[in-house]
């Protein structure tokens, strides 16, 4: 083929390819997580959704009983998993600093109280874990997600932290938390507020 014929062939092929519909993208085996419903994260300044949940400290923990105190309410996916363990241990290891800042730390997942007790004892956690077994509080805070994997649908909590001020309003939100350095960020915020 002459150089001109080769160029004409290449140009014709390029035009045909441009006119053809784009090929469908392969679907990932782990599609993006989606909220379970239209409940969005509470925004800074809004009243924090009230709750009453079973606590490893005994009885139930009610948010309205903590008015007058700053609350760090952190939601995590599952007890005794690597990221959740690191996050919980980071809060534990900063206990004295958080206490000096006047903060109450509460961890929430959909694990039951027995799982929370084992996790708390194993990791020597110094703050209560709350059992949101039906996901209602997680839904109210907009952190419940649904994902499909291998044809099966499952529900989980997206790692998120809220600081609730002394009046019961959202002071700060950290969505989609990256565990490394997170507790230091929370501590810097509560010290400055």
Query: Could you give the residue numbers annotated as active site?
Result: 84
Q: How many Å apart are CA 174 and CA 87, to the nearest integer?
A: 13
Q: How confident is the model at residue 154 (pLDDT cuts 50, 70, 90)?
A: confident
* pLDDT for res 39: 65
Query: Could you tell me if 159 and 168 are in contact, meaning their C-beta atoms sit under 8 angstroms apart?
Result: no
pLDDT digits (tens, 9 = 90+) for 17-45: 444 443 333 333 344 444 444 468 999 99
pLDDT for the residue 149 = 86
**DSSP string for residues in 26-81:** PPPSSPPPEESSSPPPPPTTSBPPP-EEEETTSSEEEGGGGTTSEEEEEE-S-TTS
52 assigned to some structural domain? yes
- Residue 40 inside a domain? The answer is no
* Displacement of CA 99 from its chain's centroid (Å): 23
Residue 182 lies in a domain: yes
**What torsion, rounded to 10 degrees, do the Cα atoms 46, 167, 181, 52 define?**
-80
**Rounded Cα gap, residues 91 and 99, in angstroms:** 11
Residue 183 resides in a domain? yes
Supply the DSSP symbol for 22.
Answer: P
| Interval 101-111 mean pLDDT | 97
Q: Domain range spanning residue 166?
A: 46-57+68-192
In a domain, 104, yes or no: yes
15 domain residue, yes or no? no
CATH number, domain at 118? 3.40.30.10
| Residue, of 55 and 12, whose pLDDT is higher | 55
Domain count, the chain: 1
Euclidean distance between CA atoms 187 and 193, whole angstroms:
10
The single-letter DSSP state of residue 169 is B
User: What is the helix (H) or strand (E) element at residue 146, kind and residue range?
Assistant: strand 144-149
Per the prediction, the chain carries an average pLDDT of 85
Q: What number is the average pLDDT over the span 52-63?
A: 96
In this model, does residue 181 exceed pLDDT 50? yes
Residue 24 lies in a domain: no
Considering the domain boundaries, does residue 102 fall inside one? Answer: yes
């Amino acid at each position: 083929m002459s150089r001109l014929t080769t160029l004409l062939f290449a140009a014709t092929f390029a035009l045909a390819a441009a006119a053809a519909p784009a090929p469908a993208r392969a679907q990932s085996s782990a599609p993006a997580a989606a909220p379970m419903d239209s409940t969005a994260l509470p925004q800074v300044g809004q009243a924090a959704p009230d709750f009453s949940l079973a606590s490893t400290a005994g009885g139930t923990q009610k948010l309205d009983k903590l008015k007058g105190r700053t609350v760090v309410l952190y939601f995590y996916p599952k007890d005794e998993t690597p990221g959740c363990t690191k996050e919980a241990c980071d809060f534990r290891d900063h206990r004295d600093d958080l206490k000096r800042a006047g903060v109450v730390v509460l961890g929430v997942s959909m694990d039951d109280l027995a799982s929370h007790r084992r996790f708390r004892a194993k990791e020597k956690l110094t703050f209560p874990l709350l059992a949101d077994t039906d996901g209602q509080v997680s839904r109210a805070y907009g952190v419940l997600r649904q994902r499909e994997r291998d044809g099966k649908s499952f529900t989980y909590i997206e790692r998120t932290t809220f600081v609730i001020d002394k009046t019961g309003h959202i002071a700060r939100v950290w969505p989609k938390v990256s565990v490394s350095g997170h507790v230091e960020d929370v501590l810097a915020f509560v010290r400055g507020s």
